[in-house]
Amino acid sequence: MNAEAITVENIPLIKPGDDIARVIAERAKLEEKDIIIISSTIVSKSENRIFSLDGIKVTGRAETIAKKNSNDPRFVQIVLDESEEVLLDSPFLLVRMKNGSICVNAGIDRSNVEGQENVLLLPEAPDESAGRIRDSLFKLTGKKVSVIITDTNGRAFRIGQTGAAIGITGIKPTRDWRGTKDLFGRVLEVKNEAVVDEIAGFGNFLMGEGNGGTPVVIIRGLNLYHESSGIKELIRPEREDVILRALRSQ
Ligand code: GDP
Ligand code: MN
Ligand code: MN
């Protein structure tokens, strides 16, 4: 197998209202079935998900949590406002968000955002953001592509962060091996590979985390195009999630 990964160069600082699809189409020659990996940071900026900590009204609950984990209470308040449920409040704030994803600080970033007091929230509906960008790319280029919106996330049990897919379109999130045979004829019973996270991980690696300015990566040569899909397929149903249950019962 031979796949190609290309970073899209010379992307400007993205501002609210910017058309991400146009920014990409003007800088890259897309091909049919390309996978376009886009950092959530620039999608959020284009959707004006920038909020200032100035003037945020802080509740008693946010004050208490902020003291426990030495955070800015206004930042904690914004995280709480984005969350459905707090699963851990120290030493870091682990929350379940409205779309079912579980992550630290509701994915709210202070890095790579202009303005000392500004924070950047994740896109409100990342699957829909991915879908809009894909539709615009089709209008602009005539090419059917897949889109994966990524964020850098920490992991349970292991040191270090990796890229994860938080919104997808035009690609099936998993490659299901169940029912197929291994090298020795044994039928695979569990393997359902989360391919969009694997691809997001490598895309995130090429983007970097600092001032590299490369928030878009194209992966070419994988045949994973699929019409309908959404990241919800990757969220484990609550009744099957023993770790979620353990966190709730502490
Ligand atoms: P996240 O993982 O989605 O939270 O995004 P990061 O903040 O880690 O940024 C990923 C990459 O995108 C880094 O290489 C940043 O330098 C770059 N980046 C972030 N914002 C912008 C922007 O507005 N314009 C450009 N050109 N690059 C950006
Ligand atoms: Mn982030
Ligand atoms: Mn990152």
Tell me the pLDDT tens digit for each residue of 137-155: 999 999 999 999 999 999 9
Which of 37, 40, 41 is the best mutation target for the ligand 1 pocket, counting ligand atoms within 8 Å of the beta carbon and taking the most? 41
Q: How far apart are CA 247 and CA 250, in angstroms?
A: 6
Q: Which atom of ligand 1 is nearest to the CA of 209?
A: 8
Which residues is 187 bridged to in the sheet?
Answer: 181
Reported as a pLDDT band with limits 50, 70 and 90, residue 112 is confident
Percent of the chain with pLDDT over 90: 92
* pTM over the 0.75 mark: yes
Q: How far apart are CA 23 and CA 220, in angstroms?
A: 19
Give 22-32 pLDDT, tens digit per residue: 999 999 999 99
**8 CB less than 6 Å from ligand 1?**
no
Q: Where are the alpha helices (DSSP H) in 13-125?
A: 20-25, 40-46, 60-68, 73-81
Ion ligand 2, residue ranges at CB < 5 A: 109, 151
Q: How far apart are CA 203 and CA 15, in angstroms?
A: 22
pLDDT at position 4 is 97
Q: Is the pLDDT of residue 228 over 80?
A: no
Cβ-contact 149, 167 below 8 angstroms: yes
pLDDT at position 99 is 85
Structural domains of the chain, with CATH = 1-48+124-250 (3.30.1330.100), 50-121 (3.90.1660.10)
- Ligand 3 center from residue 164 Cα (angstroms): 10
Give 40-98 pLDDT, tens digit per residue: 999 999 999 999 999 899 999 999 999 999 899 999 999 999 999 999 999 999 999 98
